[in-house]
Structure 1
């Protein structure tokens, strides 16, 4: 039986992750108390429904989280049920924004500042994050992108690719991509914004892409960047890194960075890497 534990930061998308696993025909249970892990696995084994894929969501809502979690996981292992841990994370700024949009308090600090609750939760979850088999940062992911990433891991045979790569376009005028591991500035490429017939289009439109990729320096940059990434990725994996965020920045985050981020993501996917592309400052005109 496949047994998956979904956990992570509150607001990072665990409920959506569970829905994705349900769509993949996993038998899912939300907010299972950690002390019941072993018993739940036994019930699934004994069920007449022939349950062979299980996903459970466990987080701080269960209370006394670490008092019972690792003990429950050890009992699973002792009784012959192997498991994997999926940890969903997001940046502090994104988590704060999500809480404010939903007008919800943080469960660990319902009467105080959201950031204080987030900091306390990160401290509580740091050990389980270290043990996670897979970490997905949902900061720049839509629900569709999250589904694609989870599909890559659990149905497309890429579960051995433990490094998740996120290529994010952004505009420097809107601020630096604060959670980026590698940041690249593509403002050396002529700006389509100053071409009247291109100004109101984006890097996903063919006329803008044709303009961006007509320059030799664009192709040289992409080739050199891919060469460097293919050199670095094996070393990141060896060092235990599970997530790599590559920022591609231009002035506004609409034209050059979008086109180039899409191309880099396409090449990395073709090379067999778990890759998601997102556009932080993308705006349709």
Structure 2
């Protein structure tokens, strides 16, 4: 995919979005290097190339020739994504950012905007997809590109569900934190103390607390409500934490339960237990020491 358009129309944002969607993205690749890139080893991912007037060898006829050659190759499925924008909006964006226009570095941005739009007109006519970003915020542009180019939209938000001990503090970078310390604690049952929340006996003990089911249901409902909103906002990673006193029983059980529930709903969810991992690293398996 060739991604181009006038400066300020959102090309850089589009390149970043496509990269998040699994494309191999290269911005401002010199056109004379494109044949070498395509003649190399087979690409494992779709390729998005950002082209604009800042390219070292940018020339309209060369771009048009590249578009024709790619379209004529039966082994390449090519597309031209042209991000368009009105002159008025482009001028406002340059005024807000106070950046110089690449085609009029020593003059007013409006001069460069007119020059660039006129220069790119032949390429615009060759666009496979023409997207006017005049009325789009960066988040709305991201949402539009995700709708068109994301083959698995429900799987593009990477979710990590983690358990932890409040004694060692809340992990860095956690977006949503839920405190499980009000649930009945298996630590006080001698037969369960040495086990962890992945054990069916421990899980059953915690689940027997009358507050456990409604707590989990409300957390799951809220998370499933928020995930599409986070995704629409452009978030690519979300971390959810469950904490308890020791990070071994209640938080582990809830982490396992929510991680599986999210996976069953088609979300890409991974599970991590901070204290159990720390314990496994620091204690030899045969030692039998419990947290």
State TM-score, norm by structure 2.
0.49
For the aligned residues, what is the CA RMSD?
4.3
Pairwise CA distance, 1:54: 5.0
Higher Rg of the two aligned structures: 2
The aligned length equals: 177
Q: Deviations over 1:205-258 (max 9, x none)?
A: 222112122223111111101111122122212222222111100011111111
Residue aligning to 2:44: 53
SS in 2 for 1:253: coil
For the residues of structure 2 that align with 1:162 and 1:193, how far apart are their CA atoms? Answer: 38
For the pair 1:43 / 2:57, whether they are aligned, the reply is no
Q: Return the offset for 1:203.
A: 1.1
- Judge conservation of contact 2:29–2:55 (CA < 8 Å) in 1: no
8 A contact 2:160–2:271 mirrored in 1: yes
Question: Which residue of the other structure, out of 252, 273, 276, is the alignment partner of 2:270?
Answer: 276
Kindly indicate whether the alpha-carbon contact (under 8 Å) linking 1:158 and 1:274 is maintained by their aligned counterparts in 2: no
Tell me what 2:98 maps to.
none
Distance change >3 Å, CA 46–CA 273, structure 1 → 2: same
Kindly indicate whether residue 228 of structure 2 is the aligned counterpart of residue 234 of structure 1: yes
Long gaps (5+) in structure 1: 2-20, 22-27, 57-69, 83-129, 134-156
Spell out the pairing of 1:18-33 with structure 2 (5 A cutoff).
Answer: none
> After the TM superposition, which residues 1-285 of structure 1 pair with which residues of structure 2 at under 5 Å, given as runs?
42-47=35-40, 51-53=42-44, 158=152, 161-282=155-276, 283=279, 285=290
8 Å CA contact 2:30–2:55 kept in 1: the answer is: no
Distance 1:219 1:176 in 2: 24
Unaligned runs of 5+ in 2: 2-21, 48-53, 68-77, 80-138, 143-150, 281-289
Q: Residues 221 and 41 of structure 1: is their aligned pair in 2 closer, same or farther, counting only changes over 3 Å?
A: farther
* 3-state DSSP of counterpart to 2:222: helix
CA distance in 2, matches of 1:218, 1:37: 59
| Distance in 1 between residues matched to 2:187 and 2:31, nearest whole Å | 59
Give the Cα separation in 2 of the matches to 1:248 and 1:39.
53
Hey, what's the Cα distance between the residues in 2 that align with 1:38 and 1:280? 48
- Hey, which bits of structure 1, 4+ residues long, moved more than 6 A? 33-40
1: CA distance, partners of 2:228 / 2:268: 13
Partner of 1:139 in structure 2? none
How far did 1:162 drift? 2.9
Give distance in 2, aligned partners of 1:35 and 1:53. Answer: 21
Change (3 A) 1:160 1:213: closer
- Post-superposition offset of 1:44: 4.9
Given that 1:180 and 1:247 are in contact with CA atoms closer than 8 Å, whether structure 2 keeps it comes out as: yes
Q: Distance in 2 between matches of 1:208 and 1:40?
A: 60
Q: Secondary structure at the match of 2:238?
A: strand
